[in-house]
Homo-oligomer: A and B are copies of this chain.
Amino acid sequence: MASEGVRVLPATRRKPRQSRARASSEALQEAFVRVLIDKGFHGVTVREVAAVAGVGVGTFYEYVANKEALAALTIHMRVKALAQALEACIERHRGQGLLTLVSALIDEQVERVMDDAVPWSALFMLERQISTPEAYRKHYAQFVDLWSQALLASSDAPATQRVPAAARMVHSMVYGWVTQGLLTQGPDLDRLALRQEIQSAVAGYLRLLGAK
């Protein structure tokens, strides 16, 4: 009796897909991103992340305080790496003309983000979901600062008192355009076109600023 084709056992736990456990925290971050990408934040479970990272649930908690903390850490590391790359880019172009420097920085940012478009767009979204407004502002300020540095590093920097507002504006344009491009056109959007559009917009804005 009792139909035999019926599922009687609970869904089997996913088996580890990745044997190399490296520094587990990194493995977990990577796994987190992977799961985030194809399940969405709501679909990220500790169990799955641990499984994908190739470790047990217990081990997950050895390395990370909890799910939110892993999310925060993952975002933090990525952003840090991006910020460092941008800083290096500023150094490489220090002393050059404003437009040249800004242009280089835009290219650097667009290329880096686009190279990893899918994870970035997932993380963009995630950040807004889990960050408190304070955390979000802090991170935002970090990028604005970077742009302030950049503007000031050029040979023809805007008037000092205009820099903060300009930096904020430029960051907003770049960041907004990139995220919206990602969100609305997907990861396969035309990078070149995107870069040019941003360049135009920013150039237009800076020209106006210079003129005032």
Contact = CB atoms under 8 A, between A and B. Distances in A.
Contacts of A175: 176, 180
Interface in A6-35: 6-11
A5 B129 contact: no
26 contacts: A1-B75, A1-B79, A1-B138, A2-B76, A2-B79, A2-B130, A3-B131, A4-B72, A6-B68, A6-B69, A7-B65, A7-B68, A8-B72, A8-B73, A9-B64, A40-B129, A42-B129, A125-B129, A137-B185, A175-B180, A176-B177, A176-B180, A201-B201, A204-B204, A204-B205, A204-B208
For the complex of A and B, 5 pairs with smallest distance between CB atoms: A5-B135, A1-B139, A176-B176, A3-B135, A2-B76
A137 B181 CA distance: 10
Nearest to A63: B10
Interface of A: 1-11, 40-42, 61-66, 68-69, 71-76, 79, 125, 127-140, 142, 165, 169, 172-173, 175-177, 179-180, 183-186, 197, 200-201, 203-205, 207-208
A146 B96 CA distance: 41
Given A172-B176, A207-B204, A6 B130 contact: yes
B131 A5 contact: yes
A135 B3 CA distance: 5
A104 B128 CA distance: 30
